[in-house]
């Protein structure tokens, strides 16, 4: 069975995107690569429920307003085959007011910086798709 992942492209009022740096724990896929907030859809959960839960678990943020962007079938370039449910939303908090509960650190990136970011798996393509779709 293909795993399901729900992640969100969070954007601030300056049009910058919130990413987090994965840590370097032994065995972790894509150590020290940038990633979107989100995670696995558990058994019996919808992607939306997983998204809200993961955002709360990772940055202690109660996600209220978000919209579905696109679904990506990711059969290669990741740790295992998966379907990514990608959403977008807004976050108006300054970086120092967003706690990161998993990973190394958070950072906002401008759309001009995105092509040079060292992303986990297929996220660079997803981010560029998103930026082009606007």
Q: Is 2 exposed, middle or buried (0-12, 13-18, 19+ CB in 10 A)?
A: exposed
pLDDT at 1: 80
Where does the pLDDT of residue 32 fall: very low under 50, low under 70, confident under 90, or very high at 90 and above? very high
Q: Tokens 């690569």 map to which residue?
A: 33
pLDDT digits (tens, 9 = 90+) for 56-95: 999 999 999 999 999 999 999 999 999 999 999 999 999 9
CA-CA distance, 45 to 68, in Å (whole number)?
A: 16
pLDDT at 77: 94
Q: Residue 38 above 90 pLDDT? A: yes
pLDDT at 21: 98
Where does the pLDDT of residue 129 fall: very low under 50, low under 70, confident under 90, or very high at 90 and above? very high
Residue 87 φ/ψ, nearest 5 degrees: -120, 165
pTM of the model: 0.96
Q: H or E segment at 56?
A: helix 47-59
pLDDT at 19: 98
Expressed in angstroms, the distance from the first to the final Cα of the chain is 33
Nearest to 32 by CA among 21, 41, 20: 21
């Amino acid at each position: 069975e293909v795993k399901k992942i729900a992640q969100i492209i969070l954007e601030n009022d300056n049009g910058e995107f919130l990413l987090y740096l994965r840590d370097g724990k032994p065995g972790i896929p894509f150590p020290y690569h940038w990633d979107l907030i989100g995670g696995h859809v558990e058994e019996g959960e919808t992607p939306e429920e997983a998204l809200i839960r993961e955002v709360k678990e990772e940055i202690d943020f109660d996600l209220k307003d978000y919209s579905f962007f696109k679904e990506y079938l990711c059969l290669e370039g990741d740790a295992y085959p998966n379907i990514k449910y990608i959403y977008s939303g807004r976050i108006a908090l300054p970086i120092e007011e967003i706690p990161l509960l998993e990973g190394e650190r958070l950072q906002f990136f401008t759309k001009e910086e995105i092509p040079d970011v060292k992303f986990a798996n297929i996220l660079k393509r997803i981010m560029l798709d998103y930026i082009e779709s606007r």
